[in-house]
Every structure is written in structure tokens, then in C-alpha cells.
A = this chain, B = another copy of it.
């Protein structure tokens, strides 16, 4: 029951950090949804449900922080590739700045 506290905490911690991480990943490269989930699992050891990612990407599109384009594959299901808009890059700069601030704060209090 106290083990689930950590599990729940990690889930709550994603609210905010996930958006932040994904925007940063998209700053370097274009990715499609399913690929982002794999990237996060492999490189960040974060397990993201599909029901988390796809709605999140739609929110980012609605806010016009990312744009998307369908790319047909020679074979298989077409992929929707996401990339950062100019507005998205500006917002990301603000987010990075606040994240750094948060780091400074926590570094002072963590034992």
C-alpha cells in the first residue's frame, strides 16, 4: 500500500515533466507517436501508456506547439510525424528556464 504511493507519485510527476521531455526530444528531431513511446522507454526508462501520449500530442497540436504530418510507408500503417513549431520553440525556452530554476531549488534541499 505504501509501495503504491511511489507508483502514484511517479504518475503524478509525469504531469508536466512528460510534456517537457517530449518537447525537448522533438527539438532535436521529428518523431512519430509510437516511436516516442519507445524512445522514452529505452532512453528514459519511462513507461508511457498510449492513452497518455496520443491525447497529449493532440493537446500540443491544439496549442500549436507542434505540427504533424502523415507519412505513408511503403508497407504498413502510415505514421504521424510531429515537429516543433516556432511558437513551440519559444515556449520550450521558457520551460527549460523554469526547469533549471526548479533544479536549483531542489538541489538545495535534497539530502
Contact = CB atoms under 8 A, between A and B. Distances in A.
Q: Which of the four size classes fits the interface of chain A?
A: 35 or more
A15, A101, A103, A108: residue with the most chain B Cβ atoms closer than 10 Å = A15
Interface in A12-43: 12-17, 19-21, 24-25, 27-28, 43
A12 to B, nearest CB: 4
A77 interface: no
Contacts of A102: 13, 17
Contacts of A110: 24, 96, 99
A105 B17 CA distance: 11
A44 B103 CA distance: 10
Given A2-B63, A44-B105, A111-B27, A16 B19 contact: no
Interface of A: 2, 5-6, 9-10, 12-17, 19-21, 24-25, 27-28, 43-46, 63-65, 87, 91, 94-96, 98-99, 101-103, 105-106, 108-111
| 6 cross-chain pairs, A with B, having the tightest CB-CB distances, nearest first | A13-B16, A12-B16, A12-B15, A24-B109, A15-B15, A44-B105
